[in-house]
């Protein structure tokens, strides 16, 4: 009975050591650390600029926030504003849901109050209190996914606002309450 317990202890100890060694030396460890990041590629349709960004899924923050804020600036005035990281989280999840490796084509990111007022006066489709003015909204399409499918997937996520503009071929996403139009 004593030798059975001893051999069982040796077996468990040896197994634990083997498992730890395999984990430490295996490619799974590097895959696990890579899984904490999601690459996002952007193309701005009005400025022609591109941005590649590693989004940290663990902290919900991009590695290069200032570069992102500049990229998503109000392209009409040049005004820069912080972007809600929940918006990036939505983009990551949306891209994963549609199994895409494409580029997000940005139509509009941040909008200054002056730009929003001007656009609101010109079009009833622009909200007077748009979340674009708070860095909480983005208008996009995804290069390798039909916009109609992108909209359906975003609606199924039920996280924030989802607007669909089929004539202009883009969707609006925001981090406000869930609603669709």
User: Which tokens belong to 42?
Assistant: 């952007």
Q: What was the pLDDT predicted at 31? A: 44
- Model confidence at 37, pLDDT cuts 50, 70, 90, reads confident
66, pLDDT greater than 70: yes
Model confidence pTM above 0.85: no
Judge whether residue 114 has pLDDT over 80: yes
Select, from the ranges 19-28, 32-41, 74-83, the one with the highest average predicted confidence (pLDDT): 74-83
Of residues 57 and 155, more confidence is placed in: 155
Cα–Cα nearest to 150, from 175, 127, 169, 174: 169
Residue by residue, DSSP assigns 31-53 as HHHHTTEEEEEEEETTT--EEEE
For residues 109 and 62, what is the distance between their CA atoms, to the nearest angstrom?
A: 16
């Amino acid at each position: 009975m004593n030798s059975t317990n001893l051999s069982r202890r040796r077996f468990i100890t040896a197994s634990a050591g083997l498992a730890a060694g395999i984990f430490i030396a295996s490619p799974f460890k590097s895959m696990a650390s890579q899984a904490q990041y999601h690459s996002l590629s952007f193309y701005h349709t009005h400025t022609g600029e591109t941005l590649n960004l590693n989004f940290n899924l663990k902290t919900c923050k991009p590695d290069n926030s200032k570069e992102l804020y500049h990229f998503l600036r109000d392209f009409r005035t040049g005004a820069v504003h912080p972007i809600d990281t929940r918006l990036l989280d939505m983009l990551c999840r949306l891209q994963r849901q549609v199994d895409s490796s494409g580029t997000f084509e940005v139509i509009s990111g941040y909008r200054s109050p002056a730009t929003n007022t001007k656009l609101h006066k010109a079009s009833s489709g622009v909200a007077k209190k748009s979340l674009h003015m708070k860095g909480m909204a983005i208008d996009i399409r995804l290069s390798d996914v039909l916009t109609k499918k992108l909209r359906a997937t975003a609606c199924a996520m039920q996280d924030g606002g989802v607007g669909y503009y089929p004539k202009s071929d883009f969707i609006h996403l925001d981090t406000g309450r869930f609603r669709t139009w």
